[in-house]
Structures are given as structure tokens and as C-alpha cells.
Amino acid sequence: MSKTALITGTTGQDGSYLSELLLDKGYKVYGLIRRSSVDTTERIAHFQHHPRFELVEGDITDASCMHKLISGIKPDEVYNLAAMSHVGVSFDQPITTCHIDALGPLHILEAIRQSSPQSKFYQASTSELFGDTKIAPQSELTPMTPNSPYAIAKLYAHHLVGLYRRAYGIFACAGILFNHESPRRGGDFVTRKITKYVAMIENWMDTHDGLGFPRKYLDIPPLFLGNIEAKRDWSHAEDMVRGMWLMMQHSIPDDYVLGSGETHTVKEFLQLAFGSVGIDYKDYVVIDPKFYRPVDVNLLHADPSKAVNILGWKPIVGFGELVNRMVEHDYEILVDKKTRYV
Ligand code: NAP
Ligand code: GDP
């Protein structure tokens, strides 16, 4: 009989890729979707009617709802990818962030403990847990000094995973995932904000024969950004969801760092993205204090050797290819009006 999985955050970047991966592997997938006044199914539209995919309505901040769902489905695997996932926004909405990112996982773990203790649980932890650390690269053993309401809420959930494993014997894993991007990345994260802008400029140049002209001579608004000195360890989201699944197939539940093992500044991302269409980011980017955070995380650099050695995981898409794929995809959306996410 095929395995069953419940994925929260199925309409998000990772949830959509993970749903596809599990459908390919023969799973019956239940994707949690929260009620919205607008359609949020854009990333999943191309497989939403798959015979083994079923949308179930709910919200992870509602304990009774999660209990009802998990006791009803009794899934083999639960992947909690739902979150208020934007670090910058968490400074403005710390309480919402806490309800979703800290208490949400607690409701799910309690539902598993009380009504479906055989269900395996995956929690989307984050490299933001390392926060202000001066230690690099960062592994599962690096001390965690979170530096945002988002990271603090995620640290609470991260510790719950270890606790439910030790105290109740639940098969629970936390993936400490470094930044991962794709053409499905939300438009308010720095990578996608950049690639959408570069695609817009490329399209403008195609139609106006304006190649080589600095922006100041053109009727185009600049790209406003904040801290471009920050260093991140960027991977492709498809590589990451494969790692999530591998953690859940291992005989022993544990926590794993997933990341590329390379670190790059936002400035390097800019250089590659703008350079891929033959222009200089300095002609287009304006630094705007509005996009600075009260405190930032300056250096993220993964040591994924535990996942490589124990799970046999390794990322396939490198930094340069990731940037190129995102720019190309955003350009194709503009010129071809292609389906956004396939
Ligand atoms: P994302 O694209 O922002 O997706 C977040 C998902 O969570 C969306 O489907 C959203 O639904 C859902 N959601 C939010 N609040 C919810 C609630 N109260 N109940 C049910 N669903 C809710 O995030 P992502 O990039 O795929 O990331 C997936 C997970 O990995 C998140 O937990 C994130 O914090 C974590 N993470 C991400 C990265 C990264 O670089 N991408 C790195 C480390 C960890 P709507 O469509 O309704 O908004
Ligand atoms: P994060 O690493 O999960 O916070 O991912 P983001 O893509 O939101 O931010 C990555 C880095 O880019 C952080 O250090 C941000 O401060 C920096 N950054 C600079 N300008 C921007 C911007 O306009 N938007 C966002 N989201 N981040 C920016």
C-alpha cells in the first residue's frame, strides 16, 4: 500500500516541490491549505488534480483542527513546512510569527503524540537559528544565538523536536536548512526580488534597444535594497526537499544541516544576476534604509557533512546555475506569459 503524507505549507515554495517529489514516489499526499480570500494555489495548480493529491483545509495555529486532521488521516509522515517565513516581517509581526512558527509545530506534535504516535514528523528548522554566531561554517553542533523574532520562534520549535523524540519516542527530525531559492521563491525575498527586476530590465532592453545605457538615462525605477553585504549559503529548493525526505527514511530520527557549503554576499548575487544579461548592478541598485532590519544575520555558511555522510545527500544545483535559472524563468514569464511555476 502506498505511504501517506500530510504536508503543511503545501502552497509555498518547498511544499509545492515536496508534494511533487512524494507524488513521484507513489505517496498519497494530503496538502494543508488555509482559507484565503484570494487564490493561493498558483504553485500547485499543475498537480492539484493529481489522483493521489488531496487538499485539506486547516490552519496550524488551530490545535483542534490539527488534532482532527491528524487523528483522521493518521499519516505515515507529517512535514511541517507552514510558517510565517520572512525574517524582516517577523520584526513587525512578532506575535503572529510566534503563534505560527512556535505554537503551530507544538499543536502538530501534540496531535501526533495523542492520536497518531506512529506518524513520523519533519520540522522546517532554519540556519537563522545560528543568528549572531561568529563561528563558521555552521553544523548541528554550532551554538544557536537567534537574532530575530522568526529565529526565536523557530528555535522553540526546534527544541520541541528533540524533546518529543526523547520524552515520547516520536520519530521527529528537524532539517536545519540554509537559504534555498527557486523560480517559486516568494517575491519579497532578496533573490527573487533581484531576478524579477533583472528580467524586467532584460525585457525592456529587448523592446527598446537600450542595451548598455545606464538606468539614469532610462525611464525605469531603481531596485531598492537593504544590506547587500550579508552572506548567505544558497541552494535550490528541489535539492532541499530531497534532503527532507531522506531524513524521514533513515532508521534513526535526527537533526541535519542542509546547505551548499559555499557562502556568497547579496552583492555577489547581484553581480551574477545583472552580469547574466550584460549590465552592471551599480547602475540600477539604490540602497534604501527601509530594507534594513533592526539587526541582521551577517554570515551563514553551512557544514552539511553529517547529511552527506549519513544520508548520502548532496546538492546538485550550484550557485551560478541557481541564479541563471531564476533570471531565465522570470524572463520567460514576462515574454511568453508562461505558467509561472511549472
Ligand atoms: P513559503 O513559500 O513562505 O511558504 C510558507 C507556507 O506556509 C505557505 O504555504 C503558507 O500558506 C503556509 N502557512 C503560513 N501560515 C500558515 C498557517 N497558520 N497555517 C497553515 N499554513 C500556513 O516558505 P518556504 O520558503 O516554502 O519555506 C518552507 C519552510 O521552511 C518554512 O517553515 C520556512 O520558515 C522554512 N525555511 C525556509 C528556508 C528558505 O530559504 N526558503 C530556509 C530555512 C527554513 P499561504 O499560501 O496561505 O500563505
Ligand atoms: P533570509 O536570509 O531568510 O532573511 O532571506 P532574505 O532573502 O529575506 O534576506 C537575505 C539577506 O538579504 C538579508 O541579510 C537581508 O537583510 C538582505 N537584503 C538586502 N536587501 C533586501 C531586500 O530588499 N529584501 C530582503 N528580503 N532582504 C534584503
In a domain, 304, yes or no: no
Do 62 and 176 fall into the same domain? yes
Ligand nearest to the CA of 230: 2
How many angstroms does the Cα of residue 317 sit away from the middle of ligand 1?
A: 22
Do 174 and 161 fall into the same domain? yes
CA–CA distance, 305 with 135 (Å, rounded to integer) = 16
In a domain, 94, yes or no: yes
**pLDDT exceeding 90 applies to what percent of the chain?**
91
How many angstroms does the Cα of residue 48 sit away from the middle of ligand 2?
A: 31
Reply yes or no on whether the pLDDT at 324 is more than 60.
Answer: yes
**Contact by Cβ (8 Å): 174, 306:** no
Do 61 and 124 fall into the same domain? yes
Strand partners, 181: 236
Residue linked to cell 483542534: 64
CA–CA distance, 19 with 44 (Å, rounded to integer) = 9
Do 152 and 66 fall into the same domain? yes
| Mean pLDDT over the full length of the chain | 95
**Per-residue pLDDT at 161:** 98
Is 186 close to ligand 2, i.e. is its CB under 6 Å away? no
**Per-residue pLDDT at 339:** 57
- From the list 128, 181, 202, 238, the catalytic residue is 128
Do 167 and 209 fall into the same domain? no
Chain segment 233-245, per-residue pLDDT in tens = 999 999 999 999 9
Chain segment 240-291, per-residue pLDDT in tens = 999 999 999 999 999 999 999 999 999 999 999 999 999 999 999 999 999 9
**Per-residue pLDDT at 204:** 84
**pLDDT exceeding 70 applies to what percent of the chain?**
95
Do 36 and 107 fall into the same domain? yes
Query: 128 catalytic, yes or no?
Result: yes
In a domain, 312, yes or no: no
Do 242 and 328 fall into the same domain? no
In a domain, 313, yes or no: no
Q: Is the pTM of this model over 0.95?
A: yes
Task: Calculate mean pLDDT across residues 166-184.
Answer: 98
How many angstroms does the Cα of residue 78 sit away from the middle of ligand 1?
A: 15
Reply yes or no on whether the pLDDT at 341 is more than 70.
Answer: no
In a domain, 252, yes or no: yes
Chain segment 40-53, per-residue pLDDT in tens = 999 999 999 999 99
What range defines the domain where residue 21 resides?
4-181+235-258
How many domains does one find in the chain? 2
Question: Residue 79 belongs to a domain with what CATH number?
Answer: 3.40.50.720
- End-to-end CA separation in angstroms for the chain: 29
